[in-house]
Amino acid sequence: MNSCIRSDNKEQLDVIYPYINVLINALNSYPFHGTVYRGFLLNTVQLAKYKKDRTFFWSGFSSASKRFAVAAQFAQCNTVFEIIIPKIFSHCCGDISDKSAYPGEAEVLLKPYTYFRVLGTKTKKHRGIEYQIPVLLVEATVRNLSGVWKSNDDDDYFICQYGRKVFWYGRSSQNRDYSWSHVGYGIIDDEDVIHLAFGDIPTGRDRYTGDIDIQISFDYATMTKILDTKNSFLTKSWSRVSAQYHQDPIPTGLPIYWSSTFDELTGHWKCNDGGNYYISQFNELIFWLGYHPEGRWCNVAAGKIDKASGVIDLNWGDIVCGANRLYGTLDLLVENKIIKKLAEQIKGSNKFIFSIVTVFVSFNHYHAFYQETWNKNFISVKFYKHS
């Protein structure tokens, strides 16, 4: 199975995919967090590749042990990877120690395409042998787009994926003085294609909106645009830079390059929680980028406004520019320069408080990682248009 996964041969993968899926689903019943060890025999050139801050993945299922001594016995190895699995990524592996024919090995099986970051390298003596110990931190799980990406034209994209939902913020590189800035929301289909709606926001000079289809590679390391309905999206491809979870907070005081007529929502909105929201409206389409100046959270939203009723229906999600990892739906009512929050379904544990108006919100919490449920709460919120 591992040789087929590593070959990236589509015909072979199509045959074994059902078996891969069965194994991954089986591992989901035995989550584990903590430290595990995996032994290798590496030469100096191979070992030198594991430099501090490097990110990488192992494409197949990877066996590890909760015991250093077990990993050190592997194939006369001279290198033992110390792998730290945080609780939020306990689903990246399965603790199969009591299911294995060799329970003494204390085996934990890592899923394919789990992303690691190298924290550093240390040494350890065990039974008279000195081992090199690259220390790894799990940063993302199997087949997930969350992280920082670079486009073929050297622009920056900050993405989070929750199930099949994708939220992203894209901006032109600093070399081009951030000439455009947009947000997007999309759904991944069964063929690993993202059907994404995007809209520019007023922190950049461009004013485009449209729909694009993006093909994700099997290992979720690259993406390629395959359809652009309006031929207005110039980027053709993307490559993952990092799967890091808290990356590059948005700078405070972003400029506003364009605004709209008085009765539209386009502009900069200040929030009573200290956050900033940059909103654009294209007829009935609404897009926004919201962020806390200290990087506590950063989210994007996309949806529509019913102009007759003034009701806005949004999908929103946190992205990797901030620390939170929440997403949900949001209904707002625009009325007499006030936006009232009618209802919200939020998946996560942190309260989401806006500030343009007075609002009332019903929370139905569901934590994306720990599957914990909170009681419904009611809070009031205010947003004010700043510019």
pLDDT value for 154: 92
Q: How confident is the model at residue 217 (pLDDT cuts 50, 70, 90)?
A: confident
Residue 195: exposure state from Cβ atoms within 10 A (0-12, 13-18, ≥19): middle
* 4 or 232, higher pLDDT: 232
Average pLDDT over residues 99-112: 93
pTM of the predicted structure, to 2 decimals: 0.62
Burial 88-111 (b: 16+ CB within 10 A, else e): bbbbbbbbbbeeeeeeebbbbbbb
pLDDT value for 244: 62
pLDDT value for 157: 94
Nearest to 80 by CA among 121, 140, 137: 121
Beta carbons of 267 and 202 less than 8 angstroms apart: yes
Beta carbons of 199 and 182 less than 8 angstroms apart: yes
pLDDT value for 185: 98
Tens of pLDDT, residue by residue over 148-175, are: 899 999 999 999 988 789 999 999 987 6
pLDDT value for 294: 83
pLDDT value for 150: 93
Top mean pLDDT of 115-129, 318-332, 344-358 is at 115-129
For the chain, domains (ranges, CATH) are: 2-140 (3.90.176.10), 143-387 (no CATH)
Does position 257 have pLDDT exceeding 90, yes or no?
A: no
The mean predicted confidence, pLDDT, of the chain is 81
Q: How confident is the model at residue 367 (pLDDT cuts 50, 70, 90)?
A: very low
- Residues of the chain with pLDDT > 70: what percent? 80
Average pLDDT over residues 328-355: 63
Average pLDDT over residues 277-306: 92
Q: Which of 9-18, 31-40, 135-144, 346-355 is predicted least confidently? A: 346-355
Average pLDDT over residues 13-33: 80
pLDDT value for 371: 21
Average pLDDT over residues 323-333: 83
Using DSSP's 3-state secondary structure scheme, residue 70 falls into helix
DSSP 146-178: -EEEEETTS-EEEEEEETTEEEEEEE--GGGTT
pLDDT value for 155: 93
